[in-house]
């Protein structure tokens, strides 16, 4: 072991498990790519003000969890705690909303950073795949994104996840509701911090996990009873479209989520096998965010799914992803001439699209065969001096144990045929 360890709240992705993470990212993004979402990559850090304005000055993410730094040049930066603000910033900066059709559909995959109290499923560095559809207000777009997330989870083989759905209203009806909620909350017995929240962001009080608070919230006014006609109709259409697509959901009138920018459709995916960190993904509509960061009115909707927790959910359900073996053929040379010959064959196999590896480091037969078995390869190509003298190698099927000689210049073709 070296003197150093991974920083608190982080962990390393190592083979063979890391292959699952790659596959999860791939399988979450596949439905998006089939639905016209283009890949976007933004820097790992942004101007801190973008998150303060975009995510919200009253959120835990901004007040407690951001990794901020001042550069030598005096810039105030933050490691990105989430993806939406950055993606919208980038789209506005590049005028994507003026160049082509709206909505601009984008997907991303990357690392995010929050200074949280670490526990299982909650890390200081984690990974998300996300999607944003920028510049259209259409219930079908909200439904599309939710369906794509559900299809992604299903394609992974997950079953025990649930979709929680709510509407947070818009600039018409939310202020009226907010005032009604504030009146109600002011009559409760709450600690000072929570009282402060009543003024800054009363909806977040609904999200308080403490029993003492939740008990008092029985009878609190709910957004769904205060939705204006337009928001209500919009929400009903989203619900109908989901049902028509065979997507089940639970109406959760208390779902507010931890970010300030949401309007109308809000949703969260929870998994029942994960304990307290049960949210595997979430998102919603954010019609006001573009203006909040200095852009034009661009109603938009998006989500982010957590890769780390999706992998934990797969483990909780005992789902093994069927991944192709990292190595299909393993070459075992005995002696220097064989090393040269088999090294050439391995290169040829790889160029023919076959995953092949080699017993490096001059191992003896026994150790080299151990490596071949450990690699998960289906075939071993073994050659010693006598084989080479006959112009052939031994092709061993590691599953059945059968072995037969194959001419040196036939090996690549023979293995291509067998592995096709």
280 binds ligand AMP (CB under 6 A): yes
CB of 394 to ligand AMP, least distance (A): 49
Cis before 103 (ω within 30): yes
| d(C-alpha 325, C-alpha 332), whole Å | 18
271 binds ligand AMP (CB under 6 A): no
Tokens linked to 386: 């006598």
Q: Is 253 helix (H, G, I), strand (E, B) or coil?
A: coil
| d(C-alpha 164, C-alpha 247), whole Å | 11
Q: Is 355 helix (H, G, I), strand (E, B) or coil?
A: coil
Nearer to ligand AMP, 274 or 342 (CB): 274
CB of 306 to ligand AMP, least distance (A): 2
Give the range of 113-121, 200-208, 346-354, 376-384 binding ligand AMP by CB under 6 A: 113-121
308 binds ligand AMP (CB under 6 A): yes
Nearer to ligand AMP, 123 or 234 (CB): 123
Tokens linked to 205: 């009080």
Q: Which of 318, 412, 397, 398 is nearest to 356 (CA)?
A: 412
Nearer to ligand AMP, 157 or 335 (CB): 157
Secondary structure E strands in 231-359:
250-251, 263-271, 279-285, 300-306, 329-333, 356-358
What angle do helix axes 336-351 and 411-419 make, rounded to 10 degrees? 50
Give the range of 23-31, 208-216, 300-308, 398-406 binding ligand AMP by CB under 6 A: 300-308
Give the range of 117-125, 232-240, 359-367, 391-399 binding ligand AMP by CB under 6 A: 117-125
Nearer to ligand AMP, 255 or 349 (CB): 255
Q: Could you say which residues in the range 319-348 bind ligand AMP, by CB under 6 A?
A: none
| d(C-alpha 368, C-alpha 362), whole Å | 9
Which one of residues 181, 190, 256, 304 is an interface residue with ligand AMP (CB under 6 A)?
Answer: 304
281 binds ligand AMP (CB under 6 A): yes
CB of 323 to ligand AMP, least distance (A): 22
Nearer to ligand AMP, 54 or 306 (CB): 306
Tokens linked to 165: 């759905």
CB of 259 to ligand AMP, least distance (A): 6
412 binds ligand AMP (CB under 6 A): no
284 binds ligand AMP (CB under 6 A): no
**CB neighbourhood size of 47 (10 A):** 13
Cβ atoms 40, 29 nearer than 8 A: no
302 binds ligand AMP (CB under 6 A): no
Q: How far is CA 220 from CA 100, 155, 206, 214, in A?
A: 45, 39, 9, 10
59 binds ligand AMP (CB under 6 A): no
132 binds ligand AMP (CB under 6 A): no
177 binds ligand AMP (CB under 6 A): no
Q: Which helix (H) or strand (E) holds 297?
A: none
| d(C-alpha 213, C-alpha 85), whole Å | 31
Tokens linked to 256: 């507010």
Give the range of 25-33, 160-168, 235-243, 304-312 binding ligand AMP by CB under 6 A: 304-312
Q: Could you say which residues in the range 178-217 bind ligand AMP, by CB under 6 A?
A: none
Q: Could you say which residues in the range 69-108 bind ligand AMP, by CB under 6 A?
A: 82
273 binds ligand AMP (CB under 6 A): no
Which one of residues 31, 54, 282, 302 is an interface residue with ligand AMP (CB under 6 A)?
Answer: 282
CB of 308 to ligand AMP, least distance (A): 5
Nearer to ligand AMP, 202 or 281 (CB): 281
Q: Which helix (H) or strand (E) holds 80?
A: none
| d(C-alpha 336, C-alpha 331), whole Å | 13
| d(C-alpha 333, C-alpha 367), whole Å | 11
Nearer to ligand AMP, 120 or 210 (CB): 120
DSSP 188-218: S---HHHHHHHHH-GGGGGG---HHHHHHTT
CB of 214 to ligand AMP, least distance (A): 20
Q: Could you say which residues in the range 220-259 bind ligand AMP, by CB under 6 A?
A: 258
| Alpha-carbon dihedral sign for residues 196, 199, 200, 205 | positive
Q: Which residues bind ligand AMP (CB under 6 A)?
A: 82, 114, 116, 121-123, 126, 128, 258, 279-282, 304, 306, 308-309
């Amino acid at each position: 072991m070296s003197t150093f360890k991974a920083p608190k709240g982080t962990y390393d992705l190592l083979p063979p498990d890391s292959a699952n993470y790659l596959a999860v990212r791939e399988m979450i993004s596949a439905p998006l790519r089939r639905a016209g979402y283009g890949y976007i990559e933004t820097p790992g850090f942004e101007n801190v003000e973008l998150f303060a304005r975009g995510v919200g000055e009253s959120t835990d993410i901004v007040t407690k969890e951001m990794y901020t730094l001042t550069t030598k040049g005096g810039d105030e930066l933050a490691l990105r705690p989430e993806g939406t603000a950055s993606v919208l910033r980038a789209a506005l900066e590049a005028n994507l909303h003026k160049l082509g059709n709206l909505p601009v559909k984008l997907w991303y995959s990357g690392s995010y950073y929050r200074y949280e109290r670490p526990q299982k499923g909650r890390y200081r560095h984690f990974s998300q795949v996300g999607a944003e559809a920028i510049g259209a207000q259409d219930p079908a777009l909200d439904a599309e994104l939710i369906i794509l997330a559900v299809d992604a989870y299903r394609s992974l083989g997950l079953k025990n996840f649930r979709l929680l759905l709510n509407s947070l209203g818009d600039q018409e009806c939310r202020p009226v509701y907010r005032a009604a909620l504030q009146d109600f909350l002011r009559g409760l017995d709450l600690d000072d911090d929570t009282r402060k929240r009543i003024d800054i962001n009363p909806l977040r009080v609904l999200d308080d996990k403490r029993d003492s608070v939740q008990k008092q919230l029985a009878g609190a006014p709910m957004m769904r009873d205060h939705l204006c006609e337009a928001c209500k109709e919009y929400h009903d259409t989203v619900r109908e479209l989901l049902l028509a697509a065979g997507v089940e959901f639970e109406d959760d009138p208390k779902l507010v989520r931890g970010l300030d920018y949401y309007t109308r459709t809000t949703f969260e995916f929870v998994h029942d096998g994960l304990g307290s960190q049960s949210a595997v993904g979430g998102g919603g509509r954010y019609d006001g965010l573009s203006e909040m960061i200095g852009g034009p009115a661009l109603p938009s909707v998006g989500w982010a799914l957590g890769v780390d927790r999706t992998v934990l959910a797969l483990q909780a359900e005992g789902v093994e992803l069927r991944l192709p073996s990292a190595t299909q053929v393993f070459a075992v040379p005995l002696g220097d001439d064989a090393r040269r010959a088999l090294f050439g064959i391995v290169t040829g196999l790889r160029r023919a699209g076959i995953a092949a590896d080699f017993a490096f480091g001059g191992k003896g037969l026994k150790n080299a065969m151990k490596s071949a078995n450990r690699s998960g390869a289906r075939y071993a190509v073994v050659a010693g001096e006598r084989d080479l003298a006959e112009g052939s190698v031994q092709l061993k099927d590691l599953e059945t144990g059968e072995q037969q000689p194959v001419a040196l210049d036939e090996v690549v073709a023979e293995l291509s045929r067998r592995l096709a």
